[in-house]
């Protein structure tokens, strides 16, 4: 589990958590909390402002040879109740004449053309989440659905957009089920060997595109998409890793930023190690909140206190590391520490699934690993029949390793594991070792941590959740302090991301901004 926008592998399913909660209809109705703050006066109503496609659409710093991409027309066709198209982009923006790929795009048309003000491009996270699936299945409020065509796209290398795949299903089973917290030099060397073998396989299978699936390149694709949609500015909703993509776009094209909402914020000014630390502490905090809830409800299989429950979880993970629990899965021999960790991590993204985790742990403590394995498979986007639904669990490495360089050498990871164990005893070692593949990645990173100001941009609304496991609240505070035109909404709650999940205060403030251009009041807390 790694990241550079969910930079550790535990942040991998940020996209999946959102896809499950919003698209898969697995989330249940949650209690709505209140908010503090007052509303601002609305800005004047905006009308659609289509642009004439021309070479002038090409960014001033871009080569003239990009003109053919910026002036392309999308050939929409009906796909179910929606419309689908393919967007052509260069593999390499530095050499746009050396090959192209086509990105899948889906449009959910405005429910009221008379109220339509433009296109809202969406990204659910990951990296590796399908914007096509998200746009097709996500629920938005009636005002947003009327105001916008909701447009999702699969970023390069993802889903149905020239997907990056290095391993077959059984090889990926082995990777995900491997030892995430090596306890000896021999185990550490095995982890390194597995990581290097994976990186070598990606080098052999990934082709030229493997070196061109970074967030910078995906952001450039979004600007081509903006032009193809005939929009002068990009209106955008990004969740989790989608905030990293959105912030990168704002850095590259501040003058093209329309109404931007970034929910579950990743601060681009963080190293890989800093992201690992943030997520280790974030998951520790979220897991403690889960255990506290379990204890408060009574008959908790973890014990009668938070400290006892956390200790019980750690003891269980050590137990399955030594003796995996038997499974009915024909392709996986047992519930290992790797699979068990994924099964526990998944419900941290959505507190409505905490009861499922409690039931699964009760079964595991009684010797049955199957319920917890089902949560792990859900997290990994794998079916009980043995196939992976998407390539998320592979392409996340390809994107993250290009976005943030990592250190090669076991001493670095061992040292980080010791440090993070102090700060996050349950999740620290797991996160410390999560980015090892990037230390062996065959393509050097093309990005580095940086403060993004997006000087001259339109308003950018950030949403931060106080007990978010994968994107800690302090990351939202960090990016809010860096951006020139940021407006932070704070949600005091659990789970990963906040908009359209559980809180009418957050939903109302975001909708006011997207539909009417009203920025949230300073210091809004929900």
- Listed in sequence order, the DSSP H helices in 158-255 are 169-176, 185-206, 215-228, 241-252
C-alpha–C-alpha distance, residues 177 and 465, integer Å: 30
Q: Which of 468, 494, 507, 511 is catalytic?
A: 468
Q: Which of 130, 161, 214, 240 is catalytic?
A: 240
C-alpha–C-alpha distance, residues 489 and 522, integer Å: 8
C-alpha–C-alpha distance, residues 145 and 497, integer Å: 20
- Kindly report the backbone phi and psi dihedral angles of residue 245, in degrees, each rounded to the nearest multiple of 5, phi listed first: -65, -45
Taken in order 220, 221, 222, 227, the sign of the CA dihedral is positive
Q: Are 464 and 259 in contact (CB under 8 A)?
A: no
Q: Using DSSP bridges, classify how beta strands 148-153 and 118-123 pair: parallel, antiparallel or unpaired.
A: parallel
Give the burial class of 387: count Cβ atoms within 10 A of its Cβ; 0-12 exposed, 13-18 middle, 19 or more buried.
Answer: exposed
Element (H, E) at 150: strand 148-153
- The question of whether 154 is a catalytic residue gets the answer no
Q: Which residues pair with 89 in a beta bridge?
A: 101
- The question of whether 406 is a catalytic residue gets the answer no
C-alpha 113 chain-centroid distance: 31
At CA 499, angle to CA 494 and CA 504, rounded to 5?
Answer: 85
Residue identified by tokens 């039931």 is 359
User: Collapsing DSSP states into helix, strand and coil, what is residue 78?
Assistant: strand
Q: Which two three-digit tokens encode residue 431?
A: 């996160």
Q: Which of 223, 263, 434, 496 is catalytic?
A: 496
- The question of whether 496 is a catalytic residue gets the answer yes
Q: Which residues pair with 334 in a beta bridge?
A: 326
C-alpha–C-alpha distance, residues 413 and 152, integer Å: 37
Q: Which residues pair with 118 in a beta bridge?
A: 148
**Which residues, including other chains, have CB under 8 Å from residue 150's CB and lie 6 or more apart?**
107, 108, 119, 120, 122, 135, 138, 140, 144
Closest by CA to 288, choosing from 312, 318, 310, is 310
C-alpha–C-alpha distance, residues 276 and 431, integer Å: 6
Taken in order 496, 279, 341, 309, the sign of the CA dihedral is negative
Q: Which residues are identified as catalytic? A: 240, 468, 496
């Amino acid at each position: 589990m790694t990241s550079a926008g969910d930079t550790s592998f535990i942040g991998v399913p940020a996209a999946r958590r959102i896809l499950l909660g919003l698209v898969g209809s697995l989330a249940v109705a949650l209690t709505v909390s209140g908010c503090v703050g007052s509303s601002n006066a609305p800005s004047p109503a905006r009308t659609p402002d289509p642009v004439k496609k021309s070479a002038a659409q090409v960014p001033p710093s871009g080569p003239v040879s990009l003109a053919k991409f910026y002036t392309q027309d999308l050939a929409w066709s009906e796909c179910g109740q929606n419309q689908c198209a393919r967007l052509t982009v260069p593999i390499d923006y530095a050499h746009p004449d050396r090959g192209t790929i086509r990105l899948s795009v889906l449009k959910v048309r405005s429910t009221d053309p008379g109220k339509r003000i433009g296109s809202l491009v969406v990204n659910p996270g990951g990296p590796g989440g399908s914007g096509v699936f998200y746009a097709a299945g996500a629920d938005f409020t009636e005002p947003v659905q009327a105001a916008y065509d909701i447009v999702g796209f699969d970023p390069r290398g993802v889903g149905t957009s020239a997907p990056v795949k290095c391993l077959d299903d059984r090889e990926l089973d082995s990777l995900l089920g491997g030892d995430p917290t090596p306890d000896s030099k021999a185990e550490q060397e095995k982890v390194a060997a597995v990581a290097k073998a994976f990186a070598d396989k990606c080098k052999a299978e990934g082709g030229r595109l493997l070196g061109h699936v970074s967030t910078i390149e995906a952001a450039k694709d979004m600007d081509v998409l903006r032009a193809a949609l005939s929009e002068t500015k990009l209106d955008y909703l990004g969740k989790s890793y989608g905030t990293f993509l959105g912030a990168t776009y704002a850095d590259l094209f501040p003058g093209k930023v329309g109404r931007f909402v970034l929910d579950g914020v990743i601060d681009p000014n963080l190293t890989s190690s800093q992201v690992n630390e943030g997520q280790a502490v974030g998951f520790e905090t979220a897991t403690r909140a889960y255990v506290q809830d379990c204890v408060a409800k009574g008959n908790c299989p973890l014990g009668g206190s938070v400290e006892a429950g956390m200790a019980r979880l750690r003891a269980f993970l050590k137990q399955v590391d030594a003796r995996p629990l038997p499974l009915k899965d024909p392709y996986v021999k047992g519930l290992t520490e790797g699979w068990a960790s994924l099964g526990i991590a998944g419900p941290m993204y959505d507190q409505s699934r905490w009861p499922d985790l409690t039931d699964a742990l009760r079964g595991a403590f009684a010797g049955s690993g199957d319920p917890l394995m089902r949560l792990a498979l859900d997290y990994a986007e794998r079916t009980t029949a043995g196939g992976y639904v998407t390539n998320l669990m592979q392409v996340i490495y390809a994107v993250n390793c290009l976005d943030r360089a990592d250190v090669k050498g076991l001493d670095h990871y061992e040292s980080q594991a010791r440090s993070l164990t102090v700060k996050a005893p349950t999740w620290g070692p797991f996160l410390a070792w999560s980015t090892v593949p990037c230390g062996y990645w065959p393509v050097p990173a093309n990005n580095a941590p940086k403060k993004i100001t997006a000087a001259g941009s339109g308003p950018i609304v950030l949403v931060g959740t106080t007990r978010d496991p994968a994107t800690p609240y302090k990351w939202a505070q960090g990016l809010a302090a860096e951006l020139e035109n940021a407006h932070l909404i704070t949600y005091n709650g659990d789970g990963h991301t906040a908009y359209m999940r559980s809180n009418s205060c957050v939903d109302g403030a975001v909708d006011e901004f997207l539909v009417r251009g009203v920025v949230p009041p300073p210091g809004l807390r929900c």
